[in-house]
Amino acid sequence: MVFICIWLFATFFATGMSLDNGLARTPPMGWLTWIRFACNTDCDYDPNFCISEKLIKEMADHMVQDGYKDAGYEYVCIDDCWLAKERDENHRLQPDPKRFPNGIKHLADYVHSKGLKLGIYEDFGTKTCAGYPGSEFYMQLDAQTFAEWGVDLLKFDTCHSDAHDNKEGYPAMSMYLNQTGRPILFSCEWPYGELQQNLSSDYGPVRKYCNVWRNYWDVLDDFQYVKNIVKFYGDNNALFQKYSGPGGFFDPDQVIVGGIGMSHYQQRAQLAMWAMFSAPLMMSNDLRDIQNEARELLLNKYIISVDQDPLGAMATRVWVINGLELWVKPIVPKGSLAIVFFNTKIFGSGTPISTAASDIGMSNPKGYRVTEVFTGKDLGIFKPETNLTARVFTTDAYMIVCHILS
Ligand SMILES: *[C@@H]1O[C@H](CO)[C@@H](O)[C@H](O)[C@H]1NC(C)=O
Ligand SMILES: *[C@@H]1O[C@H](CO)[C@@H](O)[C@H](O)[C@H]1NC(C)=O
């Protein structure tokens, strides 16, 4: 098969202005409660799994002890269900007093003492998704409160709001965060809210006011959700490529590596694709109880370096043939590539690949040093005419990095 190679030249880098708070120069990495711990608030019945100070501290401890921090994971993030049901008498947000007995400032100090950063959650609407007090009418006060507590990241959800208002509301919150003087990474659900209400999204302003932004349905611990997200990113590939780059990144949602519902192959396929998207790597798993192979995958230095590549590019979906997809991402040094074959098929013994290097993007006559990402195996020097052979199993990915020779 012969493939046309103009796509490599069609790769754009983020043209739009990005949020000027010095953060997210590469995609943020960390951990988030939601998919694994959801809105479990019953600490009497389920003390080790409820959303609480104890849970967050234990995750912070494991991030340091088990090598995640050294690998680049930095933000420990609380999603919905940390709040008390009411604001205090001065209209300030307050955490649930039983589950966060020492308050959020104390928790932020603890997380900072480990060399990590704390993320928190609120909602642009009148209530959070789970029904706790929302920020509508209180955004300035809430931004100040988060800054005073020492919060480093705000995930700002979009439930219980009219998405027509997102284009005013999110920039307003971005401005209030800026006015606190504390750099707070701003994670927006602005375009996702528009999608849910069938409105189109304008990513120029989104990139200008947010560091990362969700624009599709939640991932759940099931490969079908990963496939749907990859398809959405593929179908909108040319548009999204224009807005991904240092300072601002698309957020396809949490990383479920170390979860329960996906096979090891499916987990590595998710992580490979997220790295190709330059996506935030926010794990949602239980770091106290995780399979070794999942931990090794999360710490895989080749995947992390593709995700954290300084260009921050969104990969190109080059083709889709019989359920097999070829994705290529430019990385540094200039001319280098990361390549993923992503197989969405759910039966059969996988798809064998046999292709000239030039047909999958390695067309520079200088040649490339090629490394297999999951095994770390050095495949040697590839010239454009060198043949690559591999097998891509069902619901799996095959990933290589190709560093151009000088
Ligand atoms: C606020 O915005 C200004 C201008 O864009 C920028 O220089 C500054 O670093 C921002 N401050 C914070 C805390 O985000
Ligand atoms: C958006 O479109 C879907 C599918 O056409 C429909 O089911 C849903 O009700 C719509 N939502 C809104 C808020 O209009």
CB of 205 within 6 A of ligand 1: the answer is no
Give the strand pairing for 75-77 and 117-123.
parallel
CB of 181 within 6 A of ligand 1: the answer is yes
Tell how far the Cα of 183 is from the centroid of ligand 1, in angstroms.
8
Q: Determine which residue's CA is closest to atom 9 belonging to ligand 2.
A: 197
Q: CB under 6 Å to ligand 2: residues? A: 197-198
CB of 178 within 6 A of ligand 1: the answer is yes
Q: Which of 178, 185, 211 to mutate to test the pocket of ligand 1 (most atoms within 8 A of CB)?
A: 178
Distance CA 374, CA 362 (A): 20
Question: Hey, what are 250's tokens?
Answer: 């698309």
Q: Determine which residue's CA is closest to atom 2 belonging to ligand 2.
A: 198
CB of 208 within 6 A of ligand 1: the answer is no
Q: What is the pLDDT of residue 155?
A: 98
Query: If pLDDT is split at 50, 70 and 90, which confidence band does 9 have?
Result: very low
Q: Which of 17, 18, 21 to mutate to test the pocket of ligand 1 (most atoms within 8 A of CB)?
A: 21
Tell how far the Cα of 278 is from the centroid of ligand 1, in angstroms.
24
Q: Determine which residue's CA is closest to atom 10 belonging to ligand 1.
A: 21
Identify the three-state secondary structure at position 20.
Answer: coil
Q: Determine which residue's CA is closest to atom 12 belonging to ligand 1.
A: 178
Alpha helix ranges (H) inside 85-235: 103-113, 139-149, 166-179, 190-196, 203-209, 223-235
Ligand at shortest distance from the CA of 24? 1
Distance CA 357, CA 220 (A): 35
Tell how far the Cα of 94 is from the centroid of ligand 1, in angstroms.
27
Average pLDDT over residues 85-96: 98
Compute, in degrees rounded to 10, the torsion defined by CA atoms 315, 325, 29, 126.
90
pLDDT of 5 higher than 70: no
Side-by-side strand order, sheet with 185-188: 249-251, 212-214, 185-188, 153-157, 117-123, 75-77, 29-32, 281-283
**What are the phi and psi torsion angles at 12 (to 5°)?**
-100, 155
Give me the residue label for tokens 């939640």.
Answer: 218
Evaluate whether 185 touches 151 at the Cβ level (below 8 Å): no
pLDDT of 247 higher than 90: yes
| CA-based nearest residue to 321, from 236, 392, 216, 233 | 392
The pTM score is: 0.96
HSE-up of residue 89 (Cα within 13 Å, Cβ side):
0
* DSSP 8-state assignment for residue 132: S
* Cis amide bond preceding 333, omega within 30: yes
145, with CB counted inside 10 A (0-12, 13-18, 19+), is buried
Q: What is the pLDDT of residue 4?
A: 41
Q: Determine which residue's CA is closest to atom 4 belonging to ligand 2.
A: 198
Structural domains for the chain: 29-307 (3.20.20.70), 316-404 (2.60.40.1180)
The residues annotated as belonging to the active site are 157, 218
| CA-based nearest residue to 212, from 168, 262, 256, 274 | 274
Q: What is the pLDDT of residue 10?
A: 43
347, with CB counted inside 10 A (0-12, 13-18, 19+), is exposed
Tell how far the Cα of 172 is from the centroid of ligand 1, in angstroms.
14
Query: If pLDDT is split at 50, 70 and 90, which confidence band does 402 have?
Result: very high
CB of 183 within 6 A of ligand 1: the answer is yes
Q: Determine which residue's CA is closest to atom 5 belonging to ligand 1.
A: 20
Q: What is the pLDDT of residue 15?
A: 62
- Helix (H) or strand (E) run with residue 213 in it: strand 212-214
pLDDT digits (tens, 9 = 90+) for 347-388: 999 999 999 999 999 999 999 999 999 999 999 999 999 999
Q: Which atom of ligand 2 is nearest to the CA of 198?
A: 1
Give me the residue label for tokens 């064998």.
Answer: 352
Alpha helix ranges (H) inside 150-291: 166-179, 190-196, 203-209, 223-235, 237-241, 264-276
Tell how far the Cα of 217 is from the centroid of ligand 2, in angstroms.
14
Compute, in degrees rounded to 10, the torsion defined by CA atoms 197, 202, 203, 208.
-110
pLDDT digits (tens, 9 = 90+) for 200-234: 999 999 999 999 999 999 999 999 999 999 999 99
pLDDT digits (tens, 9 = 90+) for 149-199: 999 999 999 999 999 999 999 999 999 999 999 999 999 999 999 999 999
Tell how far the Cα of 15 is from the centroid of ligand 2, in angstroms.
32
Q: What is the pLDDT of residue 13?
A: 56
Ligand at shortest distance from the CA of 162? 2
Q: What is the pLDDT of residue 1?
A: 42
Residue 326: partners with Cβ closer than 8 Å, 6 or more residues away: 317, 318, 319, 339, 340, 341, 360
Residue 308: partners with Cβ closer than 8 Å, 6 or more residues away: 26, 27, 29, 72
pLDDT of 120 higher than 80: yes
CB of 196 within 6 A of ligand 1: the answer is no
